[in-house]
Structure 1
Amino acid sequence: MLDFPNAKINLGLQIISKRPDGFHNLESCFYPVQWCDALEMLPAPENRFSMSGLPVPGNPETNLCLKAYKLLEQEYNLPPVHMHLHKVIPMGAGLGGGSSDAAFVLRILNKLFDLKLAVDALQGYARKLGSDCAFFVENKPVIAVERGDVFEPAIIDLKGYSCVIVYPGIHITTAEAYAGVTPEKPTCTMEMVLKQDIKLWKDIMHNDFEKSLFPKYPELARLKENLYEAGAAYASMTGSGSAVYGIFKGDAPDLIFPQNYLVWKGLL
């Protein structure tokens, strides 16, 4: 069975408070985009996990895809599978690629072995793997709150808009990003912001990580400004970085970036 785990962008990201468990309460709109990896899974005589595409750092045995398989294998006594991941979405970019891969493993296993797990059950397993994994179970725009794993409906329609996402090859860890953030209660909720015309987002929708990361990585601030200069209705860093995106009315222009940058362009 073959599927294509997709990325997401954050429309705004507000860090509201530090939690007793060490995590942070946040508020953000998660919006799916079709920058995709490829994930294939087949029954096999023994478990095997292989990868191609962009190199993934770390021990393959600790990959979230395997953790997702083992989570269901232990509970449902699943037979062995051969899982192959072709990596296209860059890592350390704030695009949720690894979380998406893990969530799609759960989704594929549910279909492949007819587990009949409902959405709530799949999201429950996904939350054990990572804060934003659960988003990719339903894969539709939501307002994410608490750790980013509790969802509220997002009333938003970006049909007719396109998006350019640029990853400049700067790997920012979650720990590094959060180290520079001072939690603060927002003056305007995400629900209120999304009701405003996209032309106003530049002044009222913010990613709190930009404040500390842009001075440290000036190229990210320049990328954002370049996207506005190219006509973006809204531009921002996504997640904890370092990918920066621009949203354009109609077709996005063909923009030129350095050869070592990874770029995706498509409809929203």
Structure 2
Amino acid sequence: MDRVKLLSPGKINIGLRVWRKREDGYHDIETVFHEVKLFDEIEMEISDEIEFETNSNEIPRGFENLCLKAVRIFFESFGIHSGVRIYLKKRIPVGAGLGGGSSNSAAVLKGLNILFGVGADDDLLSELGSLIGSDVPFFIKGGTAYATGRGEIIEPIEVKVPYKIVIVYPNVKVSTSWVYGNLNLRSHDGEESLKKIVVENIDKPDKLRELVKNDLEDVVFRYHPIVADVKEKLYEIGGGFFTDVGEWFSCFWIF
């Protein structure tokens, strides 16, 4: 096969707990990732050179481009001396906390695995993905997963999310590093794991509203009250529960 086309999904976080700051500057977290039906498209074909094209002017073309980083890591890992042409059609908003960049790089790893017939399994692709970003391993398998560590320790969980998910994107720019830098850590000692809470209460929205929280909310709400207003409005129209704040602020509401 010399050409492949893949869908690259976004994700939401159902709850997020920040446990502690690590010596490496990252934070240990606990969250549940859930894949959503909002997709970018990636087309790939074997070429003489490494080429990247996209319909978005917000995607970097240099070293920080996660798709090209995935190509470099894959080629170096398997000793491949070739080229590949990548075309990325963006639909997931850039920097929206929906994991679009990580999903794109995971799709590139999977596409290269098919194009060059390497036969790498999901575990190996996840290991390569962890060299790109913390949540890239999740997108290798997708679905729903319990994530710990920096978000790179992934445990798939069998749970059906029986709701419609509404993504609100009011275009409020909030960088993840800034939020963590202004976060007041609170103790989660003695609390049940988010995995247990979500699995046991997924069909009980009132219980989820009570038990599932996002530790980043307070910082975002404090500096960007419009985000809190959106949450209040969503409650007023009868939604189930508010689950996430993203990097540019995306608000996920489950009905």
Return the TM-score normalized by structure 1: 0.87
Residues 55 and 87 in structure 1, CA contact (< 8 A), matched pair in contact too: no
Give, in whole Å, the separation in 2 of the partners of 1:240 and 1:178.
11
Letter of the aligned partner of 1:182 in structure 2?
Answer: N
How far has the Cα of 1:24 moved from its partner?
0.7
Give, in whole Å, the separation in 1 of the partners of 2:111 and 2:59.
24
C-alpha RMSD of matched pairs (Å): 1.6
Is 1:47 aligned to residue 54 of structure 2?
A: no
Residues 49 and 83 in structure 2, CA contact (< 8 A), matched pair in contact too: yes
How far has the Cα of 1:140 moved from its partner?
1.6
* Equivalent in the alignment of 2:208: 201
Return the TM-score normalized by structure 2: 0.91
Give, in whole Å, the separation in 2 of the partners of 1:74 and 1:122.
13
* Equivalent in the alignment of 1:256: none
* Equivalent in the alignment of 1:156: 159
Match of 2:94 among 79, 91, 103: 91
Letter of the aligned partner of 1:243 in structure 2?
Answer: S
Give, in whole Å, the separation in 1 of the partners of 2:248 and 2:137.
20
Residues 174 and 220 in structure 2, CA contact (< 8 A), matched pair in contact too: no
Give, in whole Å, the separation in 2 of the partners of 1:210 and 1:188.
20
Give, in whole Å, the separation in 1 of the partners of 2:245 and 2:145.
15
How far has the Cα of 1:36 moved from its partner?
0.8
Unaligned runs of 5+ in 1: 249-268
Match of 2:148 among 140, 145, 148: 145
Residues 72 and 78 in structure 1, CA contact (< 8 A), matched pair in contact too: no
* Equivalent in the alignment of 1:174: 176
Give, in whole Å, the separation in 2 of the partners of 1:119 and 1:57.
27
Residues 224 and 236 in structure 1, CA contact (< 8 A), matched pair in contact too: no
Residues 38 and 87 in structure 1, CA contact (< 8 A), matched pair in contact too: yes
SS of 1:62 mapped into structure 2: coil
Give, in whole Å, the separation in 2 of the partners of 1:155 and 1:180.
34
Residues 228 and 246 in structure 1, CA contact (< 8 A), matched pair in contact too: no
Residues 2 and 40 in structure 1, CA contact (< 8 A), matched pair in contact too: yes
* Equivalent in the alignment of 1:259: none
- 1:26-105 aligned at under 5 Å gives the runs 26-52=29-55, 54-76=56-78, 77-105=80-108
How far has the Cα of 1:141 moved from its partner?
0.5
CA distance change for structure 1 residues 97 and 68 in 2, over 3 Å: closer, same or farther? Answer: same
Residues 212 and 243 in structure 2, CA contact (< 8 A), matched pair in contact too: no
SS of 1:4 mapped into structure 2: strand
Deviations 1:85-144 (A, max 9, x none): 111111221110100001110011011111110111000000000011110000020110
Unaligned runs of 5+ in 2: none
Residues 36 and 88 in structure 1, CA contact (< 8 A), matched pair in contact too: yes
Residues 31 and 148 in structure 2, CA contact (< 8 A), matched pair in contact too: yes
SS of 2:164 mapped into structure 1: strand
